[in-house]
Amino acid sequence: MHQKKWRRLNGQAIELPILDAVEKTLEREINDGYKLKVCIGTDSQVRGKVVEFATVIVFLREKKGGFMYICNDKMEKKMSIRERMILEVGKSVEIAYHLCDLLDLYDVALEVHADINTDPHFQSNTALREAMGYILGMGFVFKAKPDAFASSSCADKVV
């Protein structure tokens, strides 16, 4: 997996490879007595000819709030909403797959959140079945709107 630039919400760069940074974070949080869950999600915005993406790894401390790591990237490509939704899911699954063995080792639950509406009246719904099949087929827990806060709230704010 090529090295992507990750940062904290305050803009501070995460210098370590993401796998190492997440492991250090898990060790610190567990040693501090927190029970964790990790939620991964991606959102995107079309700005002219450019599609900007934000992928987040949200660390939830049971009943104690949470924090996230953020990775932004962009591509210049015209695509349908369905293609963009599937690309978002692909980015989330890539990170989830990269981290899942580590999270299993530390007994941390993982969810993959898709910024896709379960209401058929919304355009993003065209990708729901495909995205759900992809995420569940990879063995991950799947959440869509309105339960997909990692993508629809967290990533949405930083894209």
29-83 pLDDT tens trace: 999 999 999 999 999 999 999 999 999 999 999 999 999 999 999 999 999 999 9
pTM confidence score:
0.93
**Strand 109-117 vs strand 141-145: parallel, antiparallel, or unpaired?**
parallel
Q: 76, exposed or middle or buried, with CB in 10 Å at 0-12, 13-18, 19+?
A: exposed
Distances in Å between the Cα of 156 and the Cα atoms of 1, 55, 113 are 24, 9, 12
142 in Cβ contact with 127 (< 8 Å): no
- The DSSP letter of residue 108 is -
Phi, psi of 105 (to 5 degrees): -60, -40
Question: Can you list the alpha helix ranges (DSSP code H) found in 35-80?
Answer: none
> Between 124 and 110, where is the model more confident?
110
What number does CATH give the domain 6-158? Answer: 3.30.420
Nearest-CA neighbor of 150 among 42, 70, 45? 42
Domain limits, the chain:
6-158
